[in-house]
Amino acid sequence: MNTYARQPVAFARGQGVWLWDEAGKKYLDALAGIAVNTLGHNHPRLVRALSEQIARVIHTSNLFRIPVQEAAADRVAAITGLDEVFFCNSGLEANECALKVARKYGHDRGVAEPAIIVMEKAFHGRSLATLSATGSRKVQAGFEPLVQGFVRVPLNDLEAVRQVAAHNRNVVAVFIEPIQGEGGINVARLEYLRGLKEICDRHEWLFMSDEVQCGLGRTGKWFVYQHAGFLPDVVPLAKGLGSGVPVGACVTGGRAKGVFKPGNHGSTFGGNPLAMTAVVTTIDTMRDENLLASALKVGDAIREGLAAGLAGLSGVTEVRGRGLMLGLELNRPCGEIVARALDAGLVLNVTADNVVRLLPALIMSESEGREVVERLVPLVREFLAQPAKAA
C-alpha cells in the first residue's frame, strides 16, 4: 500500500553505525532504524546467536514451554525491576496489551467504563486503540469512531491531572511517554513524573510508562522512569529490545501484577525462540559492553557539539533530549534536511515538522558522535541561510 513517503535510497549492508547503499556510497547512521538497532549493524555476537538459533529452531508456539523466552523474561524483569512480561511483536502491540491491562484492572475494581489519562502530542501506535490514545489529529483523522475511554491533558502539567482526578471517577491509569519521540523529543520533567506517580498512588491508578522509543538504555539508564527514581506498574517496550528483530513486550508489576489470567491475552508469534534470542543477546551485550554509560557520554558530546556549533544562529529554537535521544528544533518546517543529509552521507529523521531527530545505535563511539555533529552543523547552517518559505 502507498503508506510511506520514502527516500530514494536502499541500504544494502551495514557495519556498526555505518551503512552502504546499493551504489556503494557510505552513510553515518544517526537513526538506527528509528531507535531499533541498539547494537548497530552486523554485531558479531548478535549475528552468531541468531544464526545458531535459526539452525536449531525459529518458532514453536506458546502452547509449549520456550526456555529462551523464560530467559528473556528474567532479563527484562531484572532491568525493569518489574515482575511479569508478555511478549509480542511491536510497539503498538505492547501498548494494546497495556491498555487492556488498564481496562481489566478497572473492571476488577468495579469500574464499568474505565478511563485512561493520556498526553497531548503523545504517539502510541496506529492500531485503533493506540491511535485513539495518541495525541495527534494527523494520526487519527479518517479512522473515527475512535476508541473511547481516554482523557487528554498537556504534558508537564500536574494541575491538569489533578483537575481530571477531581472530576472523573472512572480514571484507572495514566499512560505517558516520558520522552515523546514522534511528538518532537518533548521531555517530561522528572519532578513532573514524580508528581504524577504520587497522584497515581493516591488514587490507586496504574502508572504506565511507554518506553518503546525512549527506553532500553538510550538515555543512560535502562528506562527513563529510573531517572525519576520510582517503579511504574506497566512498561510497554519494543524497538531496541531485539536490535532489529521485531519484538515487543508489556512488562507489569506493582498494582498491575496478576491482572491478566490465562485466556486474557495471547499472540501467535510473540516470544518465539528467534525473537527471544535477540532479546537475551541484546541485553547481555549491552551489559557486557557498558552501553548505557556510553550512550550518556556520546549523547552529551553530540548535544554539546550541536549547541556549540549552532550557538547564536537565529532559527535554532532548542537542542534537547537525554543521552542518545536528541532533538534539534528549528523555527520552521525542515523536512528537506533529511534528503540533504542523505546527500551528505548522514542518516537522520525530522519529526513534528521542525525537529531534527537523532536516535543512533548505542554502540556509537565518541568520535563517531563528533562526526555526526561535523556533518549536521553545516547542513543546518545552509538550510537556515536560505529564505524561509512562506507557509
Active site residues: 123, 210, 239
Q: Which of the residues 166 through 195 are near ligand PLP (CB under 6 A)?
A: 177, 181-182
Choice from 37, 53, 69, 90 touching ligand PLP (CB under 6 A) = 90
Q: Closest separation between CB of residue 159 and ligand PLP, Å? A: 25
- Identify the three-state secondary structure at position 323: coil
Strands 171-176 and 115-119: parallel
Q: How far is the CB of 236 from ligand PLP (least distance, A)?
A: 7
Q: Binding residue for ligand PLP (CB under 6 A) from 92, 276, 325, 373?
A: 92
Q: Please, what's the b/e burial string for 79-100 (b: 16 or more CB within 10 A of its CB; e: otherwise)?
A: bbbbebbbbbbbbbbbbbbbbb
**How near is the Cβ of 213 to ligand PLP at its closest, in Å?**
4
Copy the grid coordinates of residue 171: 480514571
Among 27, 105, 123, 223, the residue binding ligand PLP under the rule CB under 6 A is: 123
When asked if residue 29 is in the footprint of ligand PLP (CB under 6 A), the reply is no
> Binding pattern to ligand PLP, positions 262-281, x when CB under 6 A?
--------------------
What minimum distance in Å lies between the beta carbon of 217 and ligand PLP?
15
Element (H, E) at 85: strand 84-88
CB of 127 to ligand PLP, least distance (A): 8
C-alpha separations of 255 from 200, 201, 231, 233, 333 in Å: 10, 9, 11, 6, 43
Largest CA distance in the chain: 62
- Site size for ligand PLP (CB under 6 A): 14
Number of CB atoms found within 10 A of residue 345's CB: 15
**Dist. CA 214–CA 327, nearest whole Å:** 12
Q: 134 or 294, CB closer to ligand PLP?
A: 134
C-alpha dist (Å) from residue 358 to 3, 78, 145, 164, 243 = 23, 28, 34, 35, 17
> Nearer to ligand PLP by C-beta: 103 or 218?
218
Torsion of CA 95, 101, 105, 111, to 10 degrees: 60
Give the nearer residue to ligand PLP in terms of CB position, either 232 or 305.
232
Binds ligand PLP (CB under 6 A): choice among 14, 33, 125, 369: 125
DSSP-based three-state secondary structure for 274 = helix
**What is the SS3 assignment for 199?**
helix
* Residue of minimal Cβ distance to ligand PLP: 91
**What string marks each residue from 199 to 238 as x (binds ligand PLP by CB under 6 A) or -?**
-----------x-xx------------------------x
Q: Residue 158: which H helix or E strand, with range?
A: helix 158-167
Smallest distance, Å, CB 306 to ligand PLP? 22
374 membership: H or E segment, kind and range = helix 366-385
d(CA 348, CA 359): 8
Minimum CB distance to ligand PLP smaller for 89 or for 285: 89
Tell which one of 14, 16, 40, 91 touches ligand PLP (CB under 6 A). 91
Contact set with ligand PLP (CB under 6 A): 90-92, 95, 123-125, 177, 181-182, 210, 212-213, 238
